[in-house]
Amino acid sequence: MNEQRSVWQTMQAKGYSRRDFLQYCTFAAGIAGIGGAGLAKVVEALETKARPPIIWLHFQECTCCSESFIRSSHPIVADVLLDLVSLDYTETLQAAAGVQAEQCLHDTMTNAHGKYILLVEGSVPTKEGGVYCTIAGRAAEDILREAAEGAAAIIAWGSCASNGCIQAARPNPTGATPIHKLVSKPVINVPGCPPIADVMTGVVTHILVYGKMPELDSQGRPHEFYGRRVHDTCYRRPYYDAGLFVESWDDEAARKGHCLYKMGCRGPVTYNACSVTRWNGGVSYPIQSGHGCIGCSENNFWDNGPFYRHLASFPGFGIETTADTIGTVAGVATVAGIGAHAVVTNIRKRKLVKLQVDRTRGVQADHAEPRKDGEAS
Amino acid sequence: MNRIVVDPITRIEGHLRIEAQVEDGRITDAYSAGTMVRGFEKILKGRDPRDAWAFTERACGVCTTVHALASVRCVEDALGISVPKNAELIRNLMFCTQFVQDHVVHFYHLHALDWVDVVSALSADPDETSGIAKSISRWPKTSSKYFADVQQRIATFVKSGQLGIFANGYWGHPQYKLPPAVNLLAVAHYLEALQWQKEIVKIHTIFGGKNPHPNYLVGGVPCPINTEEVAAVNTERLNMVGRLIGEAIEFVEQVYLPDLLAIAGFYKEWASIGGGLSNYMAYGDLPTRGYNEPESFRFPRGVILGRNLAEVVPIDGRDKEQIKEYITHSWYSYEEGDGTGLHPWDGETEFNYTGPKPPYEQLNVDGKYSWLKTPRWKDQAMEVGPLARMLVAYASGVDEVKEVVDEALARLEVPVGALFSTLGRTAARGLETRVVVRWMKGFYDDLIANVKAGETKTFTRERWDPSTWPGSAEGVGMSEAPRGALAHWVRIRNKTIDNYQLVVPTTWNGSPRDAQGQRSAYEASLMDTPVADPQQPLEILRTVHSFDPCIACAVHLYDPHGSHVHRVQFS
């Protein structure tokens, strides 16, 4: 009964070269903290062992990330589950329950120690000894620490796991805490409420297919999907530049698709793929469907409201000033985990353009040095 | 006496724990505990009521949109806003989209594995599966080759030794009754449904910009209609909605319903297991002449007492003597004592965790044992959900509902009484989907007719500006989530939320017992359920899953005094 297809065999079947495979092994070894002679063992393991095991934990969340994940259109989720990975533990979909489910978790943590990818959906409540979220009688924090210890890579799905999201909004009654503050390993943050389905599967396949960690920004977000502001890639941007704004819901400007900035759109301070990748197979995104962006992938977005108050009291240059303030606060909020640099700072459009030109040339200008809050422009 | 603990209950939303006493192969007592809390109502206090939909929508990503709808309704109710006809129709289309997607996903991906043995499908004869498929449906994918390919794919997967989400299931359990050929049919449709469900939600994406968690708007819907522009809901967008509805009707009528009835035929003994409570409640939904005319709703409102289908008792969400929440067995405390029941507008709660310190083996079920409160209607426990909706509609004489229910009962050769069961609950969900998907087509046709007549308004502007609001106001937004009756209560003072309360379906169904010791629906339904093997309590999963639990929705709290306000410093 045991015809295990190794990662090497699967990659061969999909047309990848030996070189690609060795790169993947190097990556897997790197994130597992294995170097030198140990690398040969990783190569051997992946040549002969099976699909990469995945553990998906659920804590304080609404399951919108899981729901989003199954909306993936490329790859479709059945292919992910049957061909790409071995999703050994996920409370939302797995057949087993109770002790049998916990056995799945335990087996993978033991048998694939150092090799599994840990996906975390939800924040962890740290107040009162963890009584605000228990699974099988154990506190969420306890479960997280144990699973993180043997993980080769950790991905924080959604805003809950990346920045605490709604339960961390003031007054944060349960002490909801993002994952990267609780584990000592690097965490790939994939924020959004939820993240776009094809971004989620994109991050996983980036790791598995290219065999390397995606480039991350200062907040631990993959640059591939979080490197651009919604505002800068929005098809309504020309209306902003021309000063053509929706002034009231369903007014003539709304019906013509003008800029939603004055209706509170957070596109100018939100880094996400919405306006390029769009949602649900590229059908639309919030702005295209007439509502402003609420900034759901940004740190602390729930407390940057109310949502319908626009970002600055005067349109135009003020936007970047507000964006910078938010960016700096967010940077402070996510120091742990990845290593902190400034995100975006006080730059006028001129500087922003230069920064983005530098970025596309591969110069990580935004990582180079933290800029001072309130810097004149 | 044997205490079975199932934690986590998987294939649900959220964190649910069931403890059950088993004697001589039957459950003699059961306890349902929600083990996660976030504190939504505290977080809502002091916010702009126009933002509340976005916050409350995050109560749940599985039944996404339903809280947004209840929220905009309670704020509109408080401020005296009536939405334009197009907004009502678009909201109804989004509501129907959610029902159809959620019910299909529940059946195939959350519930089916309680009835379908995936491993058994490997020994099926694909020709036989093909024959069965053709005999129950005109769905195109029914060839022997198609089923042989699916079987081969599963065989390769199983032979890998890595069973992923299928690992450690109760495969081979004596309670699995389907022949291999039917198991293969169900597995094939598990995969097809996984593909299809991502299509239907595109209706949310068109009107609300994304799914999960599409955007809503107090006073209407955020998407403007303009048949002369590209950046609005225009002809192309409406055509796409039309196609998606057509495909949904096909999938529901040619895949979901035939599968449901075929599988149900092998499990008729479950028509006399898991009945539980005898009271059923529905708030009703899908207005056709505005939220303030419940008599115009497609899903009628009302209560059925003692399984008496001859009478539907009216409900009033504003009457403080009708709906109350208790916390006798919940980890909260009330100022007037923990035996008091409070109407949501007057509710109060403080965290009061008295359970064991984690890690723990068993909860102290004599005391408080859940983060869910216990709601009651006139101090009686109510079951809510698809079965309750179908019963209230059936008893209210809704023709479309009577037709599908009577047809299914005849097909399965069971009496009306079979509905009061685990099987009845699961069947009601499918029958309801068939009714809803047809109503959906009607709402779409009405929207097109409105647009054709030149009516394109989607938003009511009059009360958007807070300067037009009264100093204080209160409202209730009643709705139906896929899992049952849902309502939000809001009090607005000085332009901000003074208090906000959600009472959701899983709180009705999954709550701990009340001050008088009355069980809620999960606990009542598990009573006397046979358990063949306490090590593999498949029967518990069947009945609990028949309710489609959604625990994140069900757990929250409300604090009228604003105490315990503190900010966690990130640094």
Please tell me what DSSP assigns to residue A84: I
> A190: how many CB neighbours lie within 10 A of its CB?
29
Cα A276 to Cα A164, A287, A288, B340, B517, distances in angstroms = 26, 12, 11, 53, 55
Nearest to B392 by CA among B377, B379, B411: B377
Beta strand A134-135 pairing with A188-190: unpaired
pLDDT band at B554 (very low <50, low <70, confident <90, very high): confident
How far is residue B297's CA from residue B88's CA, in Å, rounded to a whole number? 11
| Among B15, B168, B351, beta carbon nearest to A135 | B15
Q: What is the pLDDT of residues A70-93, one digit of tens each?
A: 999 999 999 999 999 999 999 999
Laid out side by side, the sheet with B16-23 consists of B2-6, B16-23, B26-34
Cβ-based neighbours of B111, under 8 Å, separated by 6 or more: B11, B426, B545, B546, B548
Instruction: Report yes or no: A273 and A200 within 8 Å, Cβ to Cβ.
Output: no
Q: What is the pLDDT of residues A290-331, one digit of tens each?
A: 999 999 999 999 999 899 998 764 334 344 433 334 433 333
Task: Say whether A256 and B226 touch across the interface (CB within 8 A).
Answer: yes
Give the best residue of B189, B196, B210 to mutate against chain A (max A CB count within 10 A).
B210
Q: What is the pLDDT of residues B293-331, one digit of tens each?
A: 999 999 999 999 999 999 999 999 999 999 999 999 999
pLDDT of residue A3: 53
Q: Which residue has the higher pLDDT, B191 or A31?
A: B191
Nearest to B45 by CA among B570, B556, B571: B556
User: Which residues of chain A are within 8 Å of residue B232 when distances are taken between CB atoms?
Assistant: 254-257, 290
How far is residue B325's CA from residue B508's CA, in Å, rounded to a whole number? 10
Q: For residue B415, what are the β-bridge partners?
A: none
Q: For residue A155, what are the β-bridge partners?
A: A119, A188
**Residue in A closest to B225 by C-alpha:** A255
pLDDT of residue B116: 98
Task: Say whether A257 and B229 touch across the interface (CB within 8 A).
Answer: yes
How far is residue B221's CA from residue B206's CA, in Å, rounded to a whole number? 12
Write out the DSSP string of B378-424: TTB--B-SHHHHHHHHHHTT-HHHHHHHHHHHHHHT--GGGGSSHHH
Percent of the residues in chain B that have a pLDDT greater than 90, as a whole number: 93
pLDDT of residue A29: 52
- SS3 category, B276: coil
How far is residue B455's CA from residue B479's CA, in Å, rounded to a whole number? 26
Write out the DSSP string of A176-212: EE-GGGT-SS--EEE-SSS--HHHHHHHHHHHHHH-S
> A13: how many CB neighbours lie within 10 A of its CB?
10
Residue B563 pLDDT more than 60? no
Rg of chain B over Cα atoms, rounded to whole angstroms, equals 24
| Nearest CA-CA distance, residue A354 and chain B, Å | 30
pLDDT of residue A26: 60
By the CB < 8 Å criterion, does B201 face chain A?
A: yes
Instruction: Report yes or no: B296 and B284 within 8 Å, Cβ to Cβ.
Output: no
Q: What are phi and psi of B356, to 5 degrees?
A: -65, 155
Percent of the residues in chain B that have a pLDDT greater than 70, as a whole number: 97
How far is residue A309's CA from residue A298's CA, in Å, rounded to a whole number? 17
Nearest to B104 by CA among B289, B260, B213: B260
Percent of the residues in chain A that have a pLDDT greater than 90, as a whole number: 66
Residue A169 pLDDT more than 50? yes
By the CB < 8 Å criterion, does A155 face chain B?
A: no
The per-residue pLDDT of chain A, averaged, comes to 80
CATH of domain B2-554: 1.10.645.10
Nearest to B549 by CA among B4, B19, B60: B60
pLDDT of residue B42: 83
pLDDT of residue A8: 64
Cβ-based neighbours of A45, under 8 Å, separated by 6 or more: A115
By the CB < 8 Å criterion, does A353 face chain B?
A: no
pLDDT of residue A211: 85
**Residue in B closest to A58 by C-alpha:** B14
Nearest to A66 by CA among A138, A150, A160: A160
Residue A364 pLDDT more than 50? no
The per-residue pLDDT of chain B, averaged, comes to 94
> A129: how many CB neighbours lie within 10 A of its CB?
13
How far is residue A283's CA from residue B240's CA, in Å, rounded to a whole number? 10
Task: Say whether A50 and B208 touch across the interface (CB within 8 A).
Answer: no
| Among B165, B206, B220, beta carbon nearest to A249 | B220
Instruction: Report yes or no: A375 and A346 within 8 Å, Cβ to Cβ.
Output: yes
Q: Where are the domains of chain A?
A: 1-50, 51-225, 228-368
> B354: how many CB neighbours lie within 10 A of its CB?
11
pLDDT band at B162 (very low <50, low <70, confident <90, very high): very high
Task: Say whether A194 and B213 touch across the interface (CB within 8 A).
Answer: yes
Nearest to B281 by CA among B374, B380, B347: B380
Beta strand A53-58 pairing with A86-90: parallel
Terminal-to-terminal C-alpha distance of chain A: 68
* ipTM confidence: 0.94
Q: What is the pLDDT of residues A215-251, one digit of tens each?
A: 999 999 999 999 999 999 999 999 999 999 999 999 9
Helix (H) or strand (E) holding A43: helix A37-48
Give the best residue of B158, B165, B531 to mutate against chain A (max A CB count within 10 A).
B165
| Residues counted in chain A | 377
> B395: how many CB neighbours lie within 10 A of its CB?
19
Residue range A51-225 forms a domain whose CATH class is alpha beta
Nearest to B350 by CA among B71, B55, B41: B41
| Among A95, A171, A274, beta carbon nearest to B113 | A95
Token pair 């993240």 is at which residue?
A195
Characterize A307-331 residue by residue with b for buried, 16 or more Cβ atoms within 10 angstroms of its Cβ, and e for exposed. Answer: bbebbbeeeeeebbbbbbbbbbbbb
User: Which residues of chain A are within 8 Å of residue B37 when distances are taken between CB atoms?
Assistant: 125, 132-133, 174
Q: Across the A/B interface, how many CB contacts are shorter than 8 Å?
A: 350
Written as six digits, the tokens of B24 are: 């001589």
* Range of lowest pLDDT (A347-356, A362-371, B81-90, B457-466): A362-371
Task: Say whether B568 and A248 touch across the interface (CB within 8 A).
Answer: no
pLDDT band at A359 (very low <50, low <70, confident <90, very high): low
pLDDT of residue A372: 38
Give the mean pLDDT of B103-110.
98
By the CB < 8 Å criterion, does A315 face chain B?
A: no
By the CB < 8 Å criterion, does A280 face chain B?
A: yes
Give the mean pLDDT of B400-425.
97
pLDDT of residue B347: 80
Q: What are phi and psi of B299, to 5 degrees?
A: -90, 115
Assigned CATH topology for domain A228-368: Cytochrome-c3 Hydrogenase; Chain A, domain 2 (4.10.480)
Give the mean pLDDT of B219-229.
98
| Residues counted in chain B | 571
Q: Check whether the bond before A171 is cis (ω within 30° of 0).
A: yes
pLDDT of residue A68: 97
Give the mean pLDDT of A133-146.
96
Q: Which residue has the higher pLDDT, B49 or A211?
A: B49
pLDDT of residue A310: 85
The sign one gets for the Cα dihedral A357, A361, A366, A369 is negative
How far is residue B465's CA from residue B442's CA, in Å, rounded to a whole number? 34
Residue B247 pLDDT more than 70? yes
- SS3 category, B275: coil
| Nearest CA-CA distance, residue B110 and chain A, Å | 7
**Residue in B closest to A79 by C-alpha:** B191
Q: What are the helix (H) ranges across B8-84?
A: 40-44, 52-57, 66-79
User: Which residues of chain B are within 8 Å of residue A248 when distances are taken between CB atoms?
Assistant: 461, 464
Written as six digits, the tokens of A107 are: 């087996």
Residue B565 pLDDT more than 70? no
| Nearest CA-CA distance, residue A35 and chain B, Å | 27
By the CB < 8 Å criterion, does A157 face chain B?
A: no
Residue A369 pLDDT more than 50? no
How far is residue A357's CA from residue A367's CA, in Å, rounded to a whole number? 14
